[in-house]
Structure 1
Amino acid sequence: MEDEDGAELCFPQLLNSSCRKPEISQSVVVLMNLLFFISVFTVILNLLVMIAVSHFRQLHTPTNLLILSLAVSDFLTGFDVMLEAHKQTACWFLGDLMCSLHVYVSSVIFSASIGNIIFISVDRYVAICDPLHYSTRVTVTRVKICICICWICSVVYYSIIFKNELAQPGMNNFCYGQCVVIIHFTAGIVDSVLSLIAPIIVIIILYMRVFVTAVSQARAMRSHVAAVTLQHSGTVMTKKSELKAARTLGVVVLVFLMCFCPYYCISYVQISSNSALPIAAGVFLSYINPCLNPMIYALFYPWFRKAIRLIFSLQILQPGSRDTNML
């Protein structure tokens, strides 16, 4: 059914209170449809990471536990992407409560993701810049505690940010078929600093330090120097495996920043609402990041490729498969 202006309505039976169906360009529709299929691969690939790290005992290292936590957030993002693709291209048919929960859960997942990235950066910082104390400072128990704190803080923090929206779902929707969540300007500024700007600054500083130290150690290894001088840690030579892990996870961090920064830059400069393509492109780029991380692991980690073979061949169902040598 159409309104007086000829526009189709989301809910034709609610003539006076229904939103109009959004007018979306073909390019935006293509992007969002592609995003939907990418979300399916995101769920599958991150499920493989979760099974691999959780099943094989040899992979229960502090670094891999952080990768597992990141895979969980990416796995959940895959499902969230499906709702976001629907939200960007069609009327919202799931109701006000689901609208508020969708935005809330999306925020929690993103916060947990960037928290995991920070912990990964700290893990590599200690492993490369202070290797003598790594085994005592970074333990499986401490990493588990940090992961729990990360998720709990994300849930509590955004429960406070969205308390009004969660208490009164749909309070900012002006018609049926709309999904709009608005937070107070001050809260938005504080949230931007705490959940994005400050973490990115911390991540960049840590990895710059890791990069400088790793380069100096790589040069020392190539020149057959037995040890290099590290600040506060005396003389030590970092294992090549730690340098490789730093490089791999550095790629993960870099890809994360490259995928998320454009969307937030577009949002902050407030691109004209007359053109939905820039925003859709930013959303598309930010949501493909969870799909890229498992591909990075497959490219750089032999243990992940071996785990995939064991999973698809169903060898993980055999007795004693948890103790398989993966390294």
Structure 2
Amino acid sequence: MEVDDGAELCFPQLLNTSCRKPTLPGSKDVFLNTLLSSISLLTVALNLLVIISVSHFRQLHTPTNILLLSLAVSDFLVGLLLMPVEILRKIACWFLGDLMCSLFMYVSYIIPSASIGDMVLISVDRYVAICHPLHYTTRITVRRAKLCVCLCWFCSVFYSSLFVKDDLTQPGRYNSCYGECVIVVDHITDTINLVLTLIVPVTVIIVLYMKVFVVAVSQARAMRSHITAVTFQRSVTLTAKKSELKAARTLGVLVVVFLICFCPYYCVSLAGDSLPNTSSASFVLFLFYFNSCLNPVIYAMFYPWFRKSVTLIVTLQILQPGSCEANIL
């Protein structure tokens, strides 16, 4: 590698094997990096509020909230680890060594996989709660929810190790120069990953939520058909219609946001190893991560208890003795 100025290299002492330093970002890149950094901070803050809320208040120790807690932890790690490191990879050389690069890639597989698994568990939980309400308390318990969460994370760790096992045993095998951090996954592996982490989860989520929606609509119609008192007929009908619209809107948001954030990443990964330019690649990757910022909004902010718990957290009332027993439901 021929260079006129050693300062252009990540490691000037390694003239023939060092990567070049990234060029200084332009105004457009500075704006983009600032935006992504803000999203990272927002992701950390929102999910941290969910973690504190569910962990602190005893009333929130329910099976559904245990799943929300696991989802918030995985999304919190996305904002705390994955997003900042990805930003640094775009604007600076990799100085942490090949082993840390391999470990980062490993973690970058584990966390999104666990997040996807949590979303599937939440859809199963809602399906049992609405479609089989009489059996919910016996089938879905806090202990079983915790067990499912542990299994979800264990499977994510094991599953992700299959993708980076070669890179973990031989760190830096795909790096073309010192100061670079990359991992190469073959087309067959990418296809398998697409099926297991997108097609299968999306199919499960859509099927379960469609069944939930159908049951919710049928129950609302049944309520209207059994109401005979004219005085309450109008109010019940309006309430039922609002319930139908709210259910449709919530289910639509859950599925559409998931697809919008995840599909571009997997489609590009399946189509090829790179995008036409780095800006497009960054956009697709951070859209993938941005789902972690939206999850606490979709899954938690729709709950009234979340707004109340946030008020108690922000005003530091949770520091008072016995605050964990507060009535926030």
User: C-alpha separation between the residues in 2 aligned to 1:108 and 1:261?
Assistant: 18
User: C-alpha separation between the residues in 2 aligned to 1:125 and 1:247?
Assistant: 17
The residue type paired with residue 68 of structure 2 is I
Tell whether the 8 Å contact from 2:47 to 2:76 is kept in structure 1 after alignment: yes
User: C-alpha separation between the residues in 2 aligned to 1:12 and 1:270?
Assistant: 33
The residue type paired with residue 10 of structure 1 is C
Offset of 1:29 from its aligned partner? 4.5
User: C-alpha separation between the residues in 1 aligned to 2:327 and 2:246?
Assistant: 19
The residue type paired with residue 191 of structure 1 is N
Q: Equivalent residue of 2:184, what SS?
A: coil
Offset of 1:273 from its aligned partner? 4.0
Offset of 1:196 from its aligned partner? 2.3
Tell whether the 8 Å contact from 2:50 to 2:300 is kept in structure 1 after alignment: no
| 2:17 alignment counterpart | 17
User: C-alpha separation between the residues in 2 aligned to 1:134 and 1:215?
Assistant: 20
Offset of 1:216 from its aligned partner? 2.5
Q: Which moved more, 1:31-40 or 1:133-142?
A: 31-40
- 2:91 is aligned with 1:83: no
| 1:58 alignment counterpart | 59
Tell whether the 8 Å contact from 1:36 to 1:82 is kept in structure 2 after alignment: yes
Offset of 1:28 from its aligned partner? 4.5
Q: Which moved more, 1:312-321 or 1:15-24?
A: 15-24
- 2:179 is aligned with 1:177: yes
Offset of 1:191 from its aligned partner? 2.3
Distance 1:76 1:200, change over 3 A: same
Deviations 1:234-289 (A, max 9, x none): xxxx9x99x97896576345423321222222333338644222222112222222
User: C-alpha separation between the residues in 1 aligned to 2:157 and 2:52?
Assistant: 24
Distance 1:225 1:290, change over 3 A: farther
The residue type paired with residue 103 of structure 1 is M
| 2:3 alignment counterpart | 3
Which of 301, 304, 310 is 1:302 aligned to? 304
User: C-alpha separation between the residues in 2 aligned to 1:28 and 1:313?
Assistant: 37
Q: Which moved more, 1:108-117 or 1:256-265?
A: 256-265
The residue type paired with residue 319 of structure 1 is P
Q: CA RMSD in A?
A: 3.0
Which of 157, 160, 165 is 1:158 aligned to? 160
Q: Which moved more, 1:265-274 or 1:182-191?
A: 265-274
User: C-alpha separation between the residues in 2 aligned to 1:276 and 1:219?
Assistant: 52
User: C-alpha separation between the residues in 1 aligned to 2:246 and 2:142?
Assistant: 20
Tell whether the 8 Å contact from 1:248 to 1:300 is kept in structure 2 after alignment: no
The residue type paired with residue 48 of structure 1 is L
Tell whether the 8 Å contact from 2:198 to 2:262 is kept in structure 1 after alignment: no
Distance 1:272 1:287, change over 3 A: closer
Offset of 1:103 from its aligned partner? 1.1
Distance 1:173 1:215, change over 3 A: same
Q: Which moved more, 1:273-282 or 1:5-14?
A: 5-14
| 1:44 alignment counterpart | 45
Matches within 5 A, 1:242-261: 248=250, 251-261=253-263
| 2:222 alignment counterpart | 220
The residue type paired with residue 164 of structure 1 is D
Tell whether the 8 Å contact from 1:121 to 1:206 is kept in structure 2 after alignment: yes
Q: Equivalent residue of 1:16, what SS?
A: coil
The residue type paired with residue 3 of structure 1 is V
| 2:321 alignment counterpart | 319
Deviations 1:173-208 (A, max 9, x none): 010111111134433322222222211221122122
The residue type paired with residue 177 of structure 1 is G
**TM-score when scaled to structure 1?**
0.86
Size of the alignment, in residue pairs?
Answer: 315
| 2:190 alignment counterpart | 188
**TM-score when scaled to structure 2?**
0.85
Q: Equivalent residue of 2:220, what SS?
A: helix
Tell whether the 8 Å contact from 2:209 to 2:251 is kept in structure 1 after alignment: no
Q: Which moved more, 1:300-309 or 1:243-252?
A: 243-252
User: C-alpha separation between the residues in 2 aligned to 1:272 and 1:259?
Assistant: 18
| 1:211 alignment counterpart | 213
User: Which structure: greater helix fraction?
Assistant: 2
Distance 1:25 1:186, change over 3 A: farther
Tell whether the 8 Å contact from 2:190 to 2:270 is kept in structure 1 after alignment: no
Deviations 1:103-146 (A, max 9, x none): 11011001100000000111111112222211111111111100
Which of 142, 145, 150 is 2:144 aligned to? 142
Structure 2: 5+ residue stretches without partners: 229-239
